[in-house]
Every structure is written in structure tokens, then in C-alpha cells.
Structure 1
Amino acid sequence: MTAAPALVATGLRFPEGPSYLGEGAVAVVEMKGEALSRVAPDGTVTPLGDCGGAPNGRVLGAGGELYVANNGGLSIEGRGYWHAPRQFDGHVQRVDADGTVTAVGGTLPGPAPHRPNDLCFGPDGTLYVTDSGNWEDMRNIRPGTVVAIGPDGTQLGSAEVPAMPNGVAFGPDGRLYLAQSLTRKVLAFDVTGGDFGDPETVLTLPTGSPDGICFDGDGTLYVCGSVGNAIFVYSGAELKETIETGAGTQPTNCCTGDDGRLYVTFSLTGQLVAFDLGLTPLEPHTGTITAREDS
């Protein structure tokens, strides 16, 4: 049984998308803070970028910059929705070390509103971002997409994914794994740049709803089951362990650190926590996306 996590930081404004920066520091997005922030090992929180809208996911770039999937201003508020003071159609943002925030990748495909959710780099430096679709209208939710963006900001291609595509990560096998929240499934695609193969259903959660996902260096997959207040640990399609996080925590996303810990955002309690699992981290893919004049 996994021990209780260490509390790294509290008082975060609906945190999501942790990204390990090294030496115990972690970047997180704060959806209700409209911000990208750095959490130091001692819990000190420092702003990195004023993003507006509702930053939903992030990934570290090759030059130390960070890329944010900003859904444009939507989050959960009790049994309803929270809308950001500064709303816009969702898009991908680049946040440089000096705090400059730039839109990259242009307008995502399909009708507005666009609700980009999570993103990751592929082995060739292509950036992949999920667009969950109009999840503020669940009864009429449209299919979402996963979009490939090249280093010059050009969209290379996309694949339609129904039922709310969410967390995304590359596995050690070179495939792109994607959480499909409304079916409780995790899918896998063979991808090269903007070319997507047919999705394969890898696993189905026993309960809850898959949100953020990440792999460690041994190929173990960690799936944050936000609605079910649990983290599901898989080896292939086999459920190895269920880590209960407690009612009202809502674990939304995770990342591994070189300190052997799994870092997890608890969005409803405003916490970043760390599970000391003695894991081997997976070296992340990285890249750089530049802004285009027509972005």
C-alpha cells in the first residue's frame, strides 16, 4: 500500500498540469488564477506567466520555455462552471523565461469554442495538443481533436476523438497515449508528425474518469482519475494498484521527478503533493515552437 503523499504546496488556485523542472521544482498551471507558476521544493510559489483564460495543461520546451494549453476560461465550480474574468477562444501559449506570453499554433481545427486541455512533445519535436470540445454543454458535446503542431507553428494534422479527449503523453513504446474521459478509456495512437494511425483502446478504468496521465521509465502508466479521487497504476493493460487520494481531492494530472517521486495536482484542495514511489523517471521529449505571423 502506497504511503500518504508529502504536501509540497497549498493555496494553489485549481492547479493542473505539473511539469518537473529539476532540483525539486515543479511548474503548475492555476486554472482559476489564470496563471503559470513555479513551486519550489519548500512550497514557495512564484508566478511565471500571466496567461488569462484558464490554463489547463503545460509542457517544458527545449530552451526552458513552457507551453500551455489554455482552454479560454472554463473550470468547475461546485456543481456548475466557473468562467474566467478574461475569456477568449482557447489556444496554445508559449511562456518564455521573462514571462512573455505568446499565442502559437494558430486557431485549432473545428468550430469554436476550442477547449485545449493537455499537450506533450513527440520524439521529433512535434507538439501534440488535445482539444476537449465544448464540455460546458455536456448534453451536446461535440467530438474533440488531437492536433499536431510543427516547430514553425504550422498545424501538421489532426485526428477527431469523441467523448472528451483529455490527458496526453508519449509512452516508452513511442506511441501517443490519450485519456478519453467520458468513456473511462485510455487510447493509443501510432503517430508521425501530423499522421495519425487508428486508435487502440489500451485500458478502461474501473471507475471515475481519466484526466491527466504520465509514464515512468519502466513503462508504468499513472492515470489520474479525477472524479473518482484516485490514481490508477497500470503495467500495460493490467491494473497494478489503485492509490486512493481522499474525497474532494480531485487528482487532475501528474508528472515524475528525478527524485523518484510522482507529483500530482489536487485541484479541489489547491494542493501539489508528491508520492515517494522510488520510481525511475521517463526522459521527456521536448521541442520548440515559434510564433507565426498569422497565429
Structure 2
Amino acid sequence: MTELVEVTSGLEFPEGPIAMPDGSVILVEMFGPRLTRVLPDGTKETVAEVPGGPNGAALGPDGAIYVANNGARFTKTEMEGLTFPGPTTPGKYIGGRISRVDVETGDVTDLYTQCNGVDLVAPNDLVFDDQGGFYFTDHGRDEGRVAHLGGIYYAKADGSSIEELVFPAHEPNGIGLSPDGTILYWAETWTGRVMRRRVLGPGQLEEAGLVDTWQCLYGLPGFQLLDSLGVDGDGNVCVATLVNGGVTVISPDGELVDFIESGDLLTTNICFGGDDLKTAYVTLSGTGRLMRMEWPRPGAKLHYLND
């Protein structure tokens, strides 16, 4: 693999990159808080100001950007020259939500704030299927001695329905589908595990038993935390790894394929773009940079973006 090359810097905790067909990358700046387009020459343009804490993003079937918004669950914290997501600041948290952003006008609409009467806590990331729906993680949040647990959800882009599929999940973060759409993956931040479930239909996951070891694809050794993820064309799960900053590549069989060091303790996300989907874009949030590198395999095609 080639080395990481800087595309742009000066971002306020970038996450949720989307490699657009025109060569630009749309991403969130969680502490902006905003949705930003980065042009190939590194120029930055604000697409929309997004109140709360935009955390993950995906292109929907209507051409809009859908944002997993943690509601300002995290507070910007500076430490040793890096930016970290600190605890919630009382009075700033507005509640978790799924937001829809019109790319042309910059209009922001809150699509979902609850599921079956229960408030969303801190949506973190999302991925679309081929049926016009999307799976998303709710990371949850701590409040004093109380932990508000999150889960895995499925919702329609038209705002017509939302369902809770997995509860509880332990700080679920990145989420993605296998290239054939039959397996849903998600990363748990503090356990350092990549979890999976078989997809039986749109918004339908196979139940997992308490000791069903298949549901855990891989667990990282030592003190390594996990953030968001992407899936490549061979079905490998490429998960952004915190503390041991970089991208961990895990095969569909649960084997470690590779680790790409980034030099940033807070490496938070990866997506694939370019004509052949072999350009990887990586967000280095601690230092506020978007990077790119050539990937040895094409990324998996995303619905509504690479169709």
C-alpha cells in the first residue's frame, strides 16, 4: 500500500466521509458542527450547519445526505495537541436524532428523534440497504453514574418507520453491510469487538443466542478501541482503530488481514472512492485531517452512491 497523503487539514473533528462521484468528499465536522465538502485540491465548502453533533453520514436514495447526529453528546476537549471527544456538557446536549440534509439548499430536517416512544440517545453511524432503508447505531451516553445504553436500529429514508433491532449494544459505533447485503457488521468502541448478524430481510436480523460466538467477528487484543468502519469489495471489514491509531482490516472469516498505521490516536473512519473505488479516504480526527491512500482492493459499492 502507498502512504497516507493529506487532502486537507483544519477540520473540527472530521467523521463520516462520503467519496462523491465528482471527486469531492463530503464529511461531518462534529465540533463544527457542520457538514463540509472537501474538494480534490483541499478547499473546504460548508454544505450545512447541523445543530447538535453530526457523527456519521450517508447518501440516501433521494440524493440527500442522512446524518447520524449524537445531539452534542460529546464536548470538544484539547489534550497534548490533539482533539478528543470529552464528556457531555450539561445544557448543550439536545438529544440524539437522524437528520436529513438537502445538499443543494443546506436545509436540515430532523427525521427521527424517537423509536416507539423512546428517545434516541446518540446516533453514531449509518448504512443504506437496497430497499430505501438504513441501519444505524446509537452509541448511548453516560450521565454521572448512569449509562444510557444504545442499540442497532433500522429506519426508512422517507420518515415512515423506525424499529429497534438489537438492544442493548455496548457503545456501538461504525456499521456496514457485506457486499452482498447478507451480513450486518458493527463495531463496539470500548470492547474492541466487531459484531455481526445475518440479514434475513430489510430490517430483519437473525436472532443471536447468549453464547453464540459467531456474532463476534473479531476482538482486538490489548487496549485498542474501535470507531467507524467500511467494507471493501472482498468483504473485509476495515475498521478505524483508536489509541493504536490506524485501520484494522479483518477478513469475513474473522482473520486479521492487515493494519495500516495512521499516526493519529483518533483515526475515526474510512470510505472508498475514485473511478475504481481503490482510493481510501481516512479521517484523522485528533489532528483534524482528511487523508487518502491507494487501497489494494476496491471498496464495496454503496447503494445510491456507486450504483
Q: Same fold (TM over 0.5)?
A: yes
Among residues 189, 195, 209, which one is paired with 2:204 in the alignment? 195
Counterpart of 1:35 in structure 2 is 34
Kindly state the Cα deviation for residue 152 of structure 1 after the two structures are TM-superposed.
Answer: 3.1
Among residues 75, 83, 95, which one is paired with 1:89 in the alignment? 95
Q: Distance in 1 between matches of 2:59 and 2:204?
A: 23
Counterpart of 1:178 in structure 2 is 186
Q: Is the alpha carbon distance of 1:151 and 1:62 closer, same or farther for their aligned partners in structure 2, counting shifts above 3 Å?
A: closer
Which letter maps to 1:251?
T
Q: Distance in 2 between matches of 1:71 and 1:3?
A: 34
Question: In the alignment, is the contact (CA less than 8 A) between 1:255 and 1:262 conserved in 2?
Answer: yes
Q: Is the alpha carbon distance of 1:48 and 1:86 closer, same or farther for their aligned partners in structure 2, counting shifts above 3 Å?
A: farther
Counterpart of 2:111 in structure 1 is 104
Which letter maps to 1:189?
R
Q: How many residues align?
A: 284
Kindly state the Cα deviation for residue 112 of structure 1 after the two structures are TM-superposed.
Answer: 5.0
Partner of 1:182, secondary structure, is: coil
Counterpart of 1:57 in structure 2 is 56
Ranges in structure 2 where 5+ consecutive residues have no aligned partner: 80-85, 209-214
Among residues 240, 259, 272, which one is paired with 1:242 in the alignment? 259
Q: Write out per-residue CA displacement over residues 19-70 of structure 1, whole angstroms, 9 at most, x where no aligned residue.
A: 1112321111001101001011100111111111110000011232100011
Counterpart of 1:67 in structure 2 is 66
Q: Distance in 2 between matches of 1:130 and 1:109?
A: 16
Kindly state the Cα deviation for residue 279 of structure 1 after the two structures are TM-superposed.
Answer: 2.6
Which letter maps to 2:94?
F
Matched, 1:18 2:36: no
Kindly state the Cα deviation for residue 194 of structure 1 after the two structures are TM-superposed.
Answer: 3.1
Counterpart of 1:221 in structure 2 is 237
Q: Distance in 2 between matches of 1:26 and 1:83?
A: 30
Of 90-99 and 216-225, deviating more is: 216-225
Partner of 1:281, secondary structure, is: coil
Q: Distance in 1 between matches of 2:256 and 2:245?
A: 16
Counterpart of 2:211 in structure 1 is none
Kindly state the Cα deviation for residue 136 of structure 1 after the two structures are TM-superposed.
Answer: 5.6
Q: Distance in 2 between matches of 1:166 and 1:195?
A: 19
Counterpart of 1:291 in structure 2 is none
Ranges in structure 1 where 5+ consecutive residues have no aligned partner: 288-295
Q: Distance in 2 between matches of 1:164 and 1:86?
A: 21
Question: In the alignment, is the contact (CA less than 8 A) between 1:157 and 1:195 conserved in 2?
Answer: no
Among residues 134, 144, 165, which one is paired with 1:127 in the alignment? 134
Counterpart of 2:83 in structure 1 is none
Counterpart of 1:206 in structure 2 is 221
Question: In the alignment, is the contact (CA less than 8 A) between 2:131 and 2:202 conserved in 1?
Answer: yes
Kindly state the Cα deviation for residue 126 of structure 1 after the two structures are TM-superposed.
Answer: 1.2
Q: Is the alpha carbon distance of 1:73 and 1:106 closer, same or farther for their aligned partners in structure 2, counting shifts above 3 Å?
A: closer
Q: Is the alpha carbon distance of 1:82 and 1:114 closer, same or farther for their aligned partners in structure 2, counting shifts above 3 Å?
A: closer
Which letter maps to 1:180?
E
Kindly state the Cα deviation for residue 233 of structure 1 after the two structures are TM-superposed.
Answer: 1.1
Matched, 1:264 2:282: yes
Which letter maps to 1:193?
P
TM-score (norm 2): 0.85
Q: Is the alpha carbon distance of 1:276 and 1:136 closer, same or farther for their aligned partners in structure 2, counting shifts above 3 Å?
A: farther
Q: Write out per-residue CA displacement over residues 53-97 of structure 1, whole angstroms, 9 at most, x where no aligned residue.
A: 110000011232100011011335147436499641110000002
Question: In the alignment, is the contact (CA less than 8 A) between 1:54 and 1:70 conserved in 2?
Answer: yes
Of 155-164 and 257-266, deviating more is: 155-164
Q: Distance in 2 between matches of 1:11 and 1:241?
A: 29
Matched, 1:233 2:242: no
Which letter maps to 1:68?
V
TM-score (norm 1): 0.88
Counterpart of 2:47 in structure 1 is 48
